[in-house]
Amino acid sequence: MHSDDILHSHDWQYGNGSRSLFGIAERWSDLPAYQAFNKKVPLERILLIKADAIGDFILSLDAMLAMRQAFPNAHLTLACGPWNVEIARALDFFDEIHVVNFFESRADIPRPPFSVKLLNGLEKKFFDLIVDVRIDIDTRVMFPHLQATYKCGFDSGSHKLNQMMTMWLPHAMPPGTDMNLGMHQTLLMKRLADSVIGLFRTSPDIGRLLRERLAQPAAVDLGFAQGRIVVAINTSSGRLVKNWPLSRYQSLISWLCNKMKVAVFLLGGPDQKEDSDYLLETCRTPFLASFIGQTTLRESMDLLTRADLYIGNDTGLTHMAARMGVSSVSIFSGIDPTAMWAPVGEDVTVLRVPTPCSSCHILQLKDCNHNHSCILDITQEDVRAAVRNKIIAAHRRRMTTGVIGA
């Protein structure tokens, strides 16, 4: 099928999600935080909020210096109380200092009731990123009144306020922390700064290192593809409870090869031979090949780089493909928190169904009391809609570069 035909194919008319037992299958990867994490967006205007006492300000200097060093070209604004202005100017960390009167000058005087006037015009400015460095929850009340693409800080104690944040860190103080220096204010604030830096700052090119140092050339001929777009699929993972049903992969592969005119190859370990035999027998197409059990992990990594698209469950090859920059669709169960385990890569679509029983951390399918809804409610239509966009993009890359898997 020509790429123009694919663009206008009626076979693609699916929405962004479908009804399920608990809700709608969603593209979790559309979250702004995940996009920022993977695409490393530029930050030109950053606001740090540290409006409290002198001692608190001094303890936050490690965190604020880390932000200055991580984003040397950004216009860095500090919002602080008037008693810290002279210190802040002398430190020369900041391009601009804005006074807010959120607290009284003495800690034993209750702070005034919050009003926008206390922000002293800060609410009229726009920032790419705002970081509230204070650990206590009180200053997070500023967030609804401040304009920024991204907002980060510690847990606000309010679900509504936390939803306004791109990223927030917990700061619970469990009993018996008197001797635990890991709970020191300096380290907690530095941990926040390091997390923000990790979220937005370009990291070393791990993908390039994986390609150059780990991927090992595989003596495998992809001639069966006959010039078609090439899709790599791994149908399994380390746990059955994480796997999208094999019958659905069979239907997806048949659709890919017959309707969408792409070629598919299977990857996986020797324990997936039964999956391979079933798919080869039921799909019955010359545009499906199986390398399951025929390549080492490092050779499989090489094959991933030769594919235009990868599709798989939450498993090692999925993370490999994403990190090496391979366009990927990941079908995620609710077994583990998505925010903790989502693949890292610039061109990754993560599909999941939010369920009230997630994250259950169960090991075996028999332990599920909700009909495996977190996986079964991700439908063919959901996956096909995500795959469609990737195939269109792959055709466009080929027309632009002439390179497979570019």
pLDDT tens for 128-173 read 999 999 999 999 999 999 999 999 999 999 999 999 999 999 876 6
CA distances (Å), origin 45, targets 80, 192, 324:
17, 18, 30
Across residues 237-261, what is the average pLDDT? 95
pTM of the model: 0.84
Q: Which of 19-28, 264-273, 315-324 has the lowest mean pLDDT?
A: 19-28
Expressed in percent and rounded to 5, the helix, strand and coil fractions of the chain are 45, 15, 40
Instruction: Provide the token pair at 309.
Output: 């698209």
For residue 113, what pLDDT is reported? 86
Task: Write the pLDDT tens digit of every residue in 56-104.
Answer: 999 999 999 999 999 999 999 999 999 999 999 999 999 999 999 988 8
Share of the chain above pLDDT 90, in %: 70
For residue 7, what pLDDT is reported? 33
User: How far is the C-alpha of 249 from the C-alpha of 238, rounded, in Å?
Assistant: 17
User: How far is the C-alpha of 52 from the C-alpha of 273, rounded, in Å?
Assistant: 62
User: How far is the C-alpha of 276 from the C-alpha of 258, rounded, in Å?
Assistant: 18
Q: Which of 213-227, 354-368, 385-399 has the lowest mean pLDDT?
A: 354-368
Same fold, 3-36+208-401 and 41-200: yes
CATH code for the part of the protein at 41-200: 3.40.50.2000
Across residues 339-360, what is the average pLDDT? 91
**Hey, where are the domains in the chain?**
3-36+208-401, 41-200
CATH code for the part of the protein at 3-36+208-401: 3.40.50.2000
pLDDT at 181 over 90: no
User: How far is the C-alpha of 209 from the C-alpha of 216, rounded, in Å?
Assistant: 12
∠ Cα 385 211 312 (to 5°): 30
Across residues 273-284, what is the average pLDDT? 96
- Predicted confidence band of residue 399 (pLDDT cuts 50, 70, 90): confident
